[in-house]
Amino acid sequence: MDSAALLDLLGNENRRRILRLLARKPCYVTEISEYLGVSPKAVIDHLRKLEEHGLVESRVDDQRRKYFSIARNLRLEVNVSPYGFGAKSAYPASRGLDMTRCRYLTIDLTNPDEAAELAELGRELARLERLASELSMAQRWVQGRLTEVMDGISDRVRETPTLGAPDGTDARFYAEVVSALANGAETVEAVARRADAPPELVEDALARLVDQGVVTRRQGTYHLDG
């Protein structure tokens, strides 16, 4: 699902409240209407939009009454910093992901044998909730360090008169260019897309970085030196 469309969809408070309610239990339109304190017609309109985007689904009970429930399990990550704003595409949350491919994360992946006992499931739930909390803290720490590193790049740019204006206007732009290169962009066009900047401006910045020995150019592609 497109992350921008999802952000627009969830920008409405009543739709968020509907999802919170449906996360507890499937509901009929009348139940949702009473919970929100809005008309059934307004609820139906919100449900239609949520259903169109695949977040909720509807079924019909034995009395031919339609009820709604959460349809997908997904995650959306939003990043807001002095160096940019963006949302990672929503992706399904799955226990089948290969966590061993994460080089910087150490997690005990030992899973207990399946057990029907409620106590065992409770312990597993507590373990996963602790893990989710730790991962959230790790994400916040990484985001903070990313901002610090970007600030460091900006400071170095400001200390190098040949790279940009002393007021810092160009400093953040160079930091975005370096970040794009660090994330795998190798051509002027790729860097321009990541930095959301005109290609000619990116090409000039890359040329200056090459002159400073920060970036190397090889057969039309650019790479961070070392």
CATH number, domain of 188, equals 1.10.10.10
User: Do 199 and 125 share a structural domain?
Assistant: yes
**Looking at the domain assignment, is residue 134 inside a domain?**
yes
Cβ-contact 124, 131 below 8 angstroms: no
Looking at residue 117, its pLDDT comes to: 73
**Looking at the domain assignment, is residue 104 inside a domain?**
no
Cβ-contact 43, 28 below 8 angstroms: no
**Looking at the domain assignment, is residue 92 inside a domain?**
no
Tell which of 54, 70, 86 closes a domain. Answer: 70
Looking at residue 159, its pLDDT comes to: 75
Strand spans (E) along 61-214: 66-70, 74-81, 84-92
The model's pTM? 0.57
With bands split at pLDDT 50, 70 and 90, how would you rate the model's confidence at 146?
A: confident
Q: Please state the rounded mean pLDDT for residues 99-119.
A: 59
**Looking at the domain assignment, is residue 88 inside a domain?**
no
The DSSP annotation for 123-150 comes to HHHHHHHHHHHHHHHHHHHHHHHHHHHH
Q: What is the pLDDT of residues 27-48, one digit of tens each?
A: 999 999 999 999 999 999 999 9
Tell which of 37, 70, 103 closes a domain. Answer: 70
**Looking at the domain assignment, is residue 133 inside a domain?**
yes
Q: What is the pLDDT of residues 173-200, one digit of tens each?
A: 888 888 889 888 999 999 998 887 889 8
Domain with 49, as residue range(s), is 3-70
Selected residue with higher pLDDT from 26 and 136: 26
Q: Say how far apart CA 68 and CA 48 lie, in whole Å.
A: 10
User: Do 127 and 24 share a structural domain?
Assistant: no
Looking at residue 99, its pLDDT comes to: 59
**Looking at the domain assignment, is residue 206 inside a domain?**
yes
Percent of the chain with pLDDT over 70: 81
Mean model confidence pLDDT for the chain: 81
Looking at residue 121, its pLDDT comes to: 78
Asked if the model's pLDDT at residue 56 lies above 50, the reply is: yes
Cβ-contact 215, 223 below 8 angstroms: yes
Residue that the structure tokens 């732009």 belong to: 173
Total number of domains in the chain? 2
**Looking at the domain assignment, is residue 223 inside a domain?**
yes
Cβ-contact 68, 57 below 8 angstroms: yes
Q: Please state the rounded mean pLDDT for residues 165-178.
A: 70
User: Do 136 and 57 share a structural domain?
Assistant: no
**Looking at the domain assignment, is residue 82 inside a domain?**
no
53 token code pair? 């985007």
User: Do 43 and 145 share a structural domain?
Assistant: no
Q: Which of 199, 173, 202, 183 is nearest to 88 (CA)?
A: 183
80-89, 130-139, 152-161 — which one is most confidently predicted on average?
A: 130-139
Residue that the structure tokens 């204006």 belong to: 165
User: Do 158 and 222 share a structural domain?
Assistant: yes
Tell which of 35, 51, 70 closes a domain. Answer: 70
User: Do 131 and 61 share a structural domain?
Assistant: no
Q: Say how far apart CA 23 and CA 45 lie, in whole Å.
A: 19
Asked if the model's pLDDT at residue 115 lies above 50, the reply is: no
- Torsional sign, CA 199, 204, 207, 213: negative
- Torsional sign, CA 4, 24, 49, 97: positive
The DSSP output letter for 221 is E
User: Do 135 and 51 share a structural domain?
Assistant: no
